[in-house]
């Protein structure tokens, strides 16, 4: 890799209005990178810029190289890779429907994380720990609020009669 001199970089930075770009940008990481390029354009060296922004100097050097080679597009985030999801979107929607349908059973009882983990393993052949089941439920916008369960043999009439008994 070729080292880019401060003067070469400043020449490329001069025509760009960083103040307006920074104020319009909503991505925090890109704002920091734009701020770094703004400091360099104003005459600060890369070490001073790194100290001012409280980042590693190597990062500022990398941003400067990327800007010099690719312009403003070089400062943008690149797609990140990560561990693929264990369940497909179709399987997640099936699981979501299962949760909606089974959460309130007319015969009483409650579902817990073990029940969900067992369902996922039986239906999709994927193992989840109970902790990860709860994280999955949170990602699917479910909150873990339980209602009072109803006994399968409860009678509304007997309850009303009981309420009428004087103390």
Is residue 67 domain-shared with residue 126, that is, in the same domain? no
Per-residue confidence (pLDDT) for residue 117, from 0 to 100: 94
Is position 151 within any domain? no
Of the ranges 43-47, 103-107, 126-130, 149-153, the best mean pLDDT one: 126-130
Structure tokens at 28: 């925090």
Is position 17 within any domain? yes
Q: CA-CA distance, 7 to 96, in Å (whole number)?
A: 58
Is residue 24 domain-shared with residue 69, that is, in the same domain? yes
Is residue 94 domain-shared with residue 69, that is, in the same domain? no
Q: CA-CA distance, 106 to 104, in Å (whole number)?
A: 6
pTM recorded for the entire structure: 0.50
Is position 149 within any domain? no
Q: How many domains does the chain have?
A: 2
Give the mean pLDDT of 29-39: 92
Give which of 44, 55, 28 is closest to 63, Cα–Cα. Answer: 55
Is residue 22 domain-shared with residue 54, that is, in the same domain? yes
Instruction: Provide the 10 A C-beta neighbour count for residue 44.
Output: 17
Structure tokens at 100: 């909606």
Residue 164 has pLDDT above 80, yes or no: yes
Is residue 67 domain-shared with residue 99, that is, in the same domain? no
């Amino acid at each position: 890799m070729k080292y880019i001199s401060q003067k070469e970089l400043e020449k490329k930075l001069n025509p760009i209005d960083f103040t307006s770009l920074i104020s319009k940008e909503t991505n925090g990481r890109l704002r920091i990178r734009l701020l770094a390029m703004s400091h360099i354009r104003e005459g600060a060296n890369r070490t001073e810029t790194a100290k001012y922004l409280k980042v590693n100097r190597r990062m500022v050097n990398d941003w400067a190289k990327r800007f010099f080679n690719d312009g403003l597009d070089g400062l943008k985030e690149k797609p990140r890779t990560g561990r693929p999801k264990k369940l497909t979107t179709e399987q997640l929607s099936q699981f979501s429907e299962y949760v909606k349908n089974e959460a309130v059973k007319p015969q009483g009882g409650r579902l817990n994380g073990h029940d969900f983990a067992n369902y996922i393993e039986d239906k999709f052949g994927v193992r989840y720990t109970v902790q990860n089941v709860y994280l999955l439920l949170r990602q699917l916008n479910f909150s873990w609020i339980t209602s009072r369960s109803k006994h399968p043999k409860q009678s509304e009439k007997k309850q009303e009669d009981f309420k009428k008994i004087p103390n």
